[in-house]
Structure 1
């Protein structure tokens, strides 16, 4: 008698689980695609160090801005941010940048976030974006976040020409066939 009841309950549970579910939001055709440059993307974190607001960030501006920011957070004046200070900074970053926030981490786990740990992410990002290694990030290197109003960012690369197809052909002509 118990086996038929157990089978009936199991069948009902399976039927309830097997009902039609909606696909996740990113698979729904009516859903607007997510903006990967939300809050300006990764380069937006660097633009706040552009002291003269000319749209170009130099390494000197970055260093000066990071040192000033670290000094402002170092309220104990010991060249070390403790867990409580790091928590406050991380919360402020999440509040400001939401999904693009980069949290402070005590990478060597010594109980202190020093300037090297504090500045590692911005320095690394600067080096990645400085494609021509001239020590400054132009609006083109910063991408859409650095383009500013009325200055669309253009892709770099010698092969990209505005209004032309690969191979250099104008849009109304076909590109020449490549030898394979």
Structure 2
């Protein structure tokens, strides 16, 4: 695995643990010589993980839309910074540049990015691992919702397993190395 996209917020959240989790993940990425690909900002959790990877001697690629370049304060010290026209281009570029995806705790934008890439895995647009770093059990409610989707037959159990959940960055990245893609989702009368 050469590069991982990390979805995270432009704010730091209510707990110092979120920032510390970003630092731990950043150190682990740099130690494993995995390039960080992320949203390109210098603030919040985005800034924390980018600064950590850079401080540890790692490479960081940012992708930021023009619309957010000033608002999110584009990071000026990255290995590469791509300025794109739209949020759609941002997500496509993040996906193209990455061998896997991790969501740190974040808001609606973080979840939207994660669920788009999760859906792409489900329908076969990519065969890359999708993980959630569950700092302070942040993603427990989301996992309960995914379980509810399975129970209500809106999500097949095998696709539920595409959301790799770990509270420790090392364990999450270790699971990424063992990732085996699923067969591409198809629709039959039975699955409808």
| Band of TM-score, shorter chain | under 0.3
* Higher fraction of strand: 2
Kindly indicate whether structure 1 or structure 2 has the higher relative contact order, using CA contacts under 8 Å at least 6 residues apart: 2
TM-score (norm 1): 0.25
TM-score (norm 2): 0.24
